[in-house]
Amino acid sequence: MAKSGKTKKAATKRFKRTATGKLKFNRPGKRHLAQSKNRKRMRKLSKAGIVSSGDMKRMKRATGVC
């Protein structure tokens, strides 16, 4: 029997699972030093991101979503 790894609690707090099983996350870089970032960039940082298909398997295992 394979030994299952522990869930990474930091990853669990950063990602949410969508209805279709993808992982959604908030983009970093919006909290401070905003005066040097233009409005378009700040608006794009507001939108949630989806984990790429190449990283999906690894991230699902880390978050315990499997």
Rounded Cα–Cα distance for residues 11 and 2 (Å)? 22
CA distance 43 to 48: 11
pLDDT attached to residue 3: 64
Kindly give the residue spans of alpha helices, DSSP state H, lying in the chain.
9-14, 39-46, 53-63
pLDDT in tens, the chain (66 residues): 556 678 889 989 999 999 999 999 999 999 999 999 999 999 999 999 999 999 999 998 888 876
Which residues partner with 56 through β-bridges? Answer: none
Give me the pLDDT at residue 7, please.
87
Query: Cβ atoms within 10 A of the Cβ of 4, count?
Result: 9
What pLDDT score does 5 carry? 74
Q: In the numeric block, which tokens belong to residue 44?
A: 């794009």
Give the model's pLDDT for residue 1. 54
- Domains of the chain and any CATH numbers: 9-63 (4.10.410.60)
